[in-house]
Chain A
Amino acid sequence: MSDLTKFTIAEARAKLAAKEFSATELTESYLSAIDAANPTFNAYVAVTHDKARAMAKASDARFAKGEAGALEGIPLGIKDLFATEGVHTQAASHVLDAFKPRYESTVTANLWRDGAVMLGKLNMDEFAMGSSNETSYYGPVKNPWRARGSNRDLVPGGSSGGSASAVAGWLAAGATATDTGGSIRQPAAFTATVGIKPTYGRVSRWGVVAFASSLDQAGPIARDVRDAAIMLRSMASVDDKDTTSVDLPVPDYEASLGKSLKGLKIGIPREYRVDGMPAEIEALWQKGIAWMKDAGAEIVDISLPHTKYALPAYYIVAPAEASSNLARYDGVRYGLRVPGKDIVEMYENSRAAGFGREVKRRIMIGTYVLSAGYYDAYYVKAQKVRTLIKKDFEDAFAAGVDAILTPATPSAAFGLADQDMAADPVKMYLNDIFTVTVNMAGLPGIAVPAGLDASGLPLGLQLIGRPFDEEMLFRTGAVIEKAAGRFEPSKWW
């Protein structure tokens, strides 16, 4: 039999329905691929062989009865941030040692309702804090992509590095991911996969380990635009358990694919032309503009004047929210406990041993900016800047722009253990310069592979839409995909 892991979700869906292979055969193909390649990639932190087999068997039974769901028999990887009942859920942190929730997140419950199969839990930056997957307690993840003629290992991006690596390396048909400042879109761009961060409120956050509650949003990483549309339709829902979940019906996103762009206005924000941006990224952006024009869209120059302040404001808001959310890890209710002479020392020792460096850094920044005397100068100021960032987008959309086209990242994937980034945390933070504005404004954004750089590494473009207009992103993203083609790594593992 041919390698079943090469099929997209849409292809596998058709072949499963046509009985060309069973859900069990498809799942076994993925489990074999994971067993062979995961020691190389470290994309999974837990592989749920038995559960996957049981779920695939149940899918086969539903196929036999003609009761197949929208994702019936499709093997998926789940980011370690999603609570999965009785299964490893640690946000790739030591502080949540041995934590196995007694409940299921809404997103994963939706996927299982639709018949999907869980392969295991995916590696990530600890508590989703990072842009290279190197802050994980479980060690770094490797990118299936390498520069042409090189055997240097590259990062898959982060924080959803395990998700991106597994999908690009054929170790999952699709994966769940989350995005607080770019954690879906940057790894997607680094691995030639498609990643969409939906509008804040579109996907329930219930059962997702919280990082920064006003910015976090879950979404899929998939092999192509159609697969991302299929996955988002299942992941999104209206959920009473999340008070920020919005009461809007979930559309059939696949129906947006293939629609013409005639009459649409695509905005090109001049502030995204940043100093020191590689010529290749600029050239890719120009190509994207030409593709949009060829598809019938009108291109308009727009201004988003507060763009450069999004990242500094983010590094106040996100750590502030994180410092409150992570206060719960105290060695009492779950996870790691390190004894001390009294309860306060027990808290301090547990947190010192349980959190990694980057997480501690952000808790410290958050605690500082929220502390007495600094709250107005930092936190309130950042929230005001956030209002201005959102208004920039609202003005552009009010002027008739349907979607905004930008580069996804300022560079292609970089090497593991990059010395410059290790020495200067701010340098790592700059990875999110094009993506973070979208979280600050609560908007939807998609990263679509658009080409390869001179060394053969993938580069992506980003499209930003109006609130709850994910359909526009699938529609315009499909045009980029059609023009650019799809990109796969050559197998070295």
Chain B
Amino acid sequence: MSVDIATVKRVARLARIAVDEADAQRMTGELNAILGFVAQLDEVDVSGVEPMTSVTPMAMKKRQDVVTDGGKAGDIVANAPATEEAFFLVPKVVE
């Protein structure tokens, strides 16, 4: 399978990465090289094979349903580019 420039622009939109025409052009070539490489998997017969979901055969650990952490709003917003009190500031989302 290969992608065209329209698909690349659509994927960039899904990935929330701004691309200009030149970026999209270059990425189309690069993505097709990688997709060409992974196309080797078409040779493998995977009928009846279960997809891997966990690389180590272990049950997911569960913890007690209790509060173990919290009360650190200041720490959480400390690295944000724009904040007010304990809130993240973003451009207006709802009119």
- Indicate which residue in B14, B31, B49, B60 contacts A243 across the interface (CB closer than 8 Å): B60
Classify the secondary structure of B's interface with A: loop
Residue of A nearest to B53 (CB): A383
**Which residues between 369 and 425 of chain A lie within 8 Å of chain B, taking CB atoms?**
371, 374, 377-378, 380-388, 390, 424-425
Q: How many residues of A contact B (CB 8 A)?
A: 77
Please, how many angstroms separate the alpha-carbon atoms of A440 and B41 in the complex? 15
Residue of B nearest to A345 (CB): B18
Least CB distance from A266 to B in Å reads 24
Whether the pair A390, B88 counts as a contact (CB closer than 8 A) is no
Is the C-beta of A479 less than 8 angstroms from some C-beta in chain B? no
Is the C-beta of A14 less than 8 angstroms from some C-beta in chain B? no
Q: A368-B3, A371-B11 are in contact. Are A240 and B18 (CB under 8 A)?
A: no
- Indicate which residue in A309, A311, A363, A441 contacts B55 across the interface (CB closer than 8 Å): A441
Could you count the A-B residue pairs with CB atoms below 8 Å apart for me: how many are there?
A: 167
Whether the pair A312, B37 counts as a contact (CB closer than 8 A) is yes
Least CB distance from A298 to B in Å reads 28
Please, how many angstroms separate the alpha-carbon atoms of A102 and B80 in the complex? 12
**Which residues between 27 and 50 of chain B lie within 8 Å of chain A, taking CB atoms?**
27, 30-31, 33-35, 37-41, 43-44, 46, 49-50
Whether the pair B81, A384 counts as a contact (CB closer than 8 A) is no
Q: A246-B58, A351-B17 are in contact. Are A332 and B90 (CB under 8 A)?
A: yes
**Which residues between 44 and 82 of chain B lie within 8 Å of chain A, taking CB atoms?**
44, 46, 49-56, 58, 60-61, 63, 72, 75-82
Flag the segment in A157-165, A253-261, A336-344 that touches B: A336-344
- Indicate which residue in A244, A246, A364, A424 contacts B31 across the interface (CB closer than 8 Å): A364
One digit per residue, 1 when the CB lies within 8 angstroms of any chain B CB and 0 when it does not, for chain A 448-474 equals 000000000000000000010000000
Q: A201-B56, A387-B49, A442-B56 are in contact. Are A336 and B81 (CB under 8 A)?
A: yes
Q: Residues of A contacting B51 with CB < 8 Å?
A: 380, 383-384, 386-387
